[in-house]
Structure 1
Amino acid sequence: MRVIGVSEPGGPEALREFDIDERHAGPGEVRIRVRAAAVNPTDTAARSGAYASRQADVSPPHVPGMDAAGDIDEVGPGTTTDLAVGDAVMAVVVPSGSHGAYSEQLVVSVESVVPVPVGADYAEAATLPMNGLTARMALDAMALEPGQTLAVTGAAGAFGGYMIQLAKAEGLRVIADAAADDEQLVRDLGADVVVPRGDDVADRIREAEPGGVDALADGAVQNELVSPAVRDGGQMATVRGFKGDDAAKERGVVFHPVLVMHYNREQAKLDALRKQAEAGVLTLRVARTFPADHAAEAHRLFESGGVRGRLILEF
């Protein structure tokens, strides 16, 4: 089967096609004929070697991709599921070696798979699992009450957009950042207050909420630059493993590093996201699609910045 990956870390040009042995679903697994895979920051980081130490003992190719959508073409023996061959599904993927979403076929645990939202195509569905579950995990960790205030950085991005929409569905007040060109987008996603993005965003958030926000989801990965926006004793969810700075911890701020790999088999939560997409609570945003063999072009565009919505590779 065909996969898109790298034999050595590098720039976008390092991505190329490989033919690897076909895999079959085992007990508790299904195989998906992939139609669409989303391009995420974790993919470009993996391609460039950011996770090389984790792959040191794994033979190439190393295949990125954490979001997939397609059709089930095999159900493993003894697998208990309502899903059947031919069903259109989406899945969250934890890449390892040649196991990644940039693949014609993908074997995953059935607990990582749910139906595609009704009314969504494969490309749209592929935008939801990883970022949606990461946002869900952040909100679960912070366990905020209706009426509390959440700040979101990187609000125009996929994670940030889902954070805003999920937070509003749970009755939270949302302060979000945006560049001037993205302000209307972020308002349309549901933010109550929009402040200018940048290294001084903590000051802007404090202007809107002088006492500091109850919690903050840092999709922009600003870490200690943005933690001053959180009130004493508040909370902050981070997406790249940041565990907090001393100044914030001294004020009692609790940090929640969220890693979607801990939610990759939370099928009920992924299915709840599906239902929210069907209900219009969540917006599935596709920026552009590419044939899978144009993955290098997609990575170049993604790394150039300013992409709103997800770039999708189609098989």
Structure 2
Amino acid sequence: MRAVVVTTFGGPEAVEVVETEVPEPGARQVRIKVAAATLNPVDAGVRAGVFGGAGERIGLGWDVAGTVDATGEAAAWTVGEEVVALLYGPVKPLGTHAEYVVVDADAVAKAPAGVDAVHAATLPLNALAAVQALDLLEVTPGQSLLITGAAGALGGYAVRLAAHRGISVTALARPTDEDLVRSLGADRLADGDEGGFDAVLDAAVLGAPALERVRDGGAYVGVIPGASPAPERGVRTSEIEVSADGARLAELVRLVDEGVLTLRVAETYTLDDAAKAHARLAEGGLRGRLVLVP
């Protein structure tokens, strides 16, 4: 099968498509025939060597939508089921940017019923990160929440999920994205250097400038492990390290099926054009995810 890997760190030119053996599922694992897999900023970080692994062959890709192709012992899935899953881990020999991938059975959920695989593939990583970040913040209706990077994939899911919970959301985004973030459920755009928020979800990875917008005794959650600013003024600071959770992913799928969550695709690329997709990601300005199709 074909798979997208890096063997040396660098820019988009470091991305390779190689031929490798089809992986076999072990106990409590399933093999998925990949229909679509999302390209995320974390893949660019892996490619650049941010997470280490020098000298190894590292597979790229965390999100997948496809069909169960084979099951290991005690894996409660049936061959032929259409599913989505998150394959956690920055340094792994094979990722989801491949024709087949093996994942733990408890990381899998049934695919949304009303969307195609390309759109379904954009759900697992970013939506799980968003909901897990909101859980860490413990923000409740009646409190004020600022979401930075609100027009991005993770930020957009966070806006929608928070609004669905009845939380008043202020979005930090470009003025040109106001209609977009309002359509996702934001009440308004942040006004200049406005502060005093009960909580901030820093999807744009602003760090200290985002922390300054939190009231004394509030809460801040970042989206990169180890990158959050130090606590100050009684503000509780933490960050998510997204975890694969099939049960939680199934809840998010239900919200897609109910029309609560919108899945946004910017562009699609073939697996063989993975390096071109990385180059497009590096250009920025996307309002939706890039998706690879084998």
When normalised by structure 2's length, the TM-score is 0.96
Contact 2:31 2:103 in 1 (8 A): yes
Q: Which residue of 2 aligns with 1:142?
A: 137
Q: Which residue of 2 aligns with 1:15?
A: 15
User: What are the ranges of 5 or more consecutive residues in structure 1 without an aligned counterpart?
Assistant: 207-211
Q: CA deviation at 1:115?
A: 1.0
Q: Which residue of 1 aligns with 2:224?
A: 240
Q: Which residue of 1 aligns with 2:28?
A: 28
Aligned-residue RMSD, C-alpha: 1.4
For the residues of structure 2 that align with 1:59 and 1:190, how far apart are their CA atoms? 43
Q: Which residue of 2 aligns with 1:91?
A: 85
For the residues of structure 2 that align with 1:167 and 1:233, how far apart are their CA atoms? 20
Contact 1:138 1:256 in 2 (8 A): no
Q: Which residue of 1 aligns with 2:206?
A: 222
The answer to whether structure 1 residue 283 and structure 2 residue 262 are counterparts is yes
For the residues of structure 2 that align with 1:313 and 1:47, how far apart are their CA atoms? 16
Q: CA deviation at 1:242?
A: 4.5
Look up the SS of the partner of 2:190 in the other structure.
Answer: strand
- Provide, for residues 257-308 of structure 1, a one-character-per-residue CA deviation record: whole Å limited to 9, x for no partner: 1011xx21x2211100000011111110001111111111111111101011
Matches within 5 A, 1:244-259: 244-246=228-230, 249-259=231-241
- 2:209 corresponds to which letter in structure 1? L
User: What are the ranges of 5 or more consecutive residues in structure 2 without an aligned counterpart?
Assistant: none
Matches within 5 A, 1:289-300: 289-300=268-279
When normalised by structure 1's length, the TM-score is 0.90
Q: CA deviation at 1:20?
A: 1.5
- 1:49 corresponds to which letter in structure 2? G
- 1:112 corresponds to which letter in structure 2? A
Which residue, out of 147, 154, 158, partners 1:159?
154
Look up the SS of the partner of 1:250 in the other structure.
Answer: coil
- Provide, for residues 79-138 of structure 1, a one-character-per-residue CA deviation record: whole Å limited to 9, x for no partner: 2x2x31111111101243322111111001011111110111111011010011101111
For the residues of structure 1 that align with 2:43 and 2:208, how far apart are their CA atoms? 25
Q: Which residue of 1 aligns with 2:169?
A: 174
For the residues of structure 1 that align with 2:248 and 2:190, how far apart are their CA atoms? 31
Which residue, out of 72, 77, 83, partners 1:76?
72
- 1:278 corresponds to which letter in structure 2? D
Contact 1:233 1:252 in 2 (8 A): yes
- 2:81 corresponds to which letter in structure 1? D
Contact 1:237 1:255 in 2 (8 A): yes
Q: Which residue of 2 aligns with 1:209?
A: none
Contact 2:45 2:51 in 1 (8 A): yes
Q: CA deviation at 1:243?
A: 5.6
- 1:279 corresponds to which letter in structure 2? E
**Greater helix content:** 1
Look up the SS of the partner of 1:103 in the other structure.
Answer: coil
Contact 1:127 1:286 in 2 (8 A): yes
Contact 2:3 2:94 in 1 (8 A): no
Q: CA deviation at 1:147?
A: 1.6
For the residues of structure 2 that align with 1:63 and 1:78, how far apart are their CA atoms? 26
For the residues of structure 2 that align with 1:162 and 1:15, how far apart are their CA atoms? 28
For the residues of structure 1 that align with 2:162 and 2:254, how far apart are their CA atoms? 16
The answer to whether structure 1 residue 273 and structure 2 residue 240 are counterparts is no
- 2:291 corresponds to which letter in structure 1? I
For the residues of structure 2 that align with 1:59 and 1:194, how far apart are their CA atoms? 44
Contact 1:235 1:255 in 2 (8 A): yes
Identity of aligned residues (%): 41
Report how many residues are paired. Answer: 293
